[in-house]
Amino acid sequence: MKISVVIPVFNEENYIENCLLSLVNQEEKADEIIVVDNNCSDKTINIAKKYPVKIIKEKKQGTVFARNKGFNEAKGEILARCDADSILSSDWIKKIKKVFQEEKIDGLTGPVIFYDLPFKTTLFSVLYMRIIKFLQKGETLLGPNMAITKKIWNKIKNEVCLNEKRIHEDIDLSIHILRNQGKIKYEWRLFAYISARRIKNKPFSFFLDYPKRAIINLLFH
């Protein structure tokens, strides 16, 4: 079972190195790591070039476009995805591979921990994901810590929504998987660590606009 990891990036020079280090030091290596350059103007790509990764370009601005380009280019049977500020546990790939080998699922996700908050807890992500699960009547993927099969991607890639003002790309992806009778598993032991920069830099947006857009996303569908 081959696994491709896709990382959309836009000016992530402060974070990308730790993300890539966590990936190249995995107990079981990914078959390919794809960094999708979404018009970076800083040192992100120069840093990425120091590592054994494939770098591709997506000129249309937006995470959804960069993600789609990476998923379409990926060769693996499993398409894992994380953010540039994700730091993956050393057994991340190993666990992803194990779950997909043992269970008939189309998507996999798990909790995240904010590594730069005083209290290291999964509470925020768990609460958020349980609410979304209740509202959309099925598990939801979390962008910094997720994987789907190439098979389900090929089935839904022409259906996924592109307007990021109305959607969260990970919730939208989940909705289309569920609509196509796909199954998403939430694995409590699949951890990823991410930065709380969005909370620190724009608390209003994170605690108000982000949930608001999530609800609009669900209503839109």
CATH of the domain at 128: 3.90.550.10
Residue closest to 20 by CA, chosen among 31, 3, 10, 35 = 35
Number of residues that this document lists for the chain = 221
Of 13 and 165, more confident: 13
Give the model's confidence band at 130: pLDDT under 50 very low, under 70 low, under 90 confident, else very high: low
Rounded to the nearest 10 degrees, what angle do helices 123-136 and 169-179 cross at?
40
34 in Cβ contact with 52 (< 8 Å) = no
Q: Report percent pLDDT > 90 for the chain.
A: 68
Inform me whether the pLDDT recorded for 33 exceeds 80. Answer: yes
Of 200 and 58, the structure prediction assigns the larger pLDDT to 58
Whether the per-residue pLDDT at 80 is higher than 60: the answer is yes
Number of domains in the chain: 1
Token pair, residue 77, equals: 């049977």
Query: With bands split at pLDDT 50, 70 and 90, how would you rate the model's confidence at 123?
Result: low
Greater pLDDT, 112 or 7 = 7
SS3 at position 104: coil
Range of the domain at 19: 3-220
- Alpha carbon distance 195, 18 (integer Å): 11
Q: Quickly state the pLDDT bin for 74 (edges 50, 70, 90).
A: very high
pLDDT band with cut points at 50, 70 and 90 for residue 97 = very high
Tally Cβ neighbours within 10 Å of residue 183. 15
Residues 34-62, mean pLDDT to the nearest whole number = 98
pLDDT at 121 > cutoff 60: no
pLDDT band at 183 (very low <50, low <70, confident <90, very high): very high
Number of C-alpha atoms within 13 angstroms, CB side, residue 103? 16
Distance (Å, rounded) from C-alpha 171 to C-alpha 25? 29
pLDDT band at 140 (very low <50, low <70, confident <90, very high): confident
C-alpha angle with apex 6: 75 to 202, nearest 5 degrees?
Answer: 165
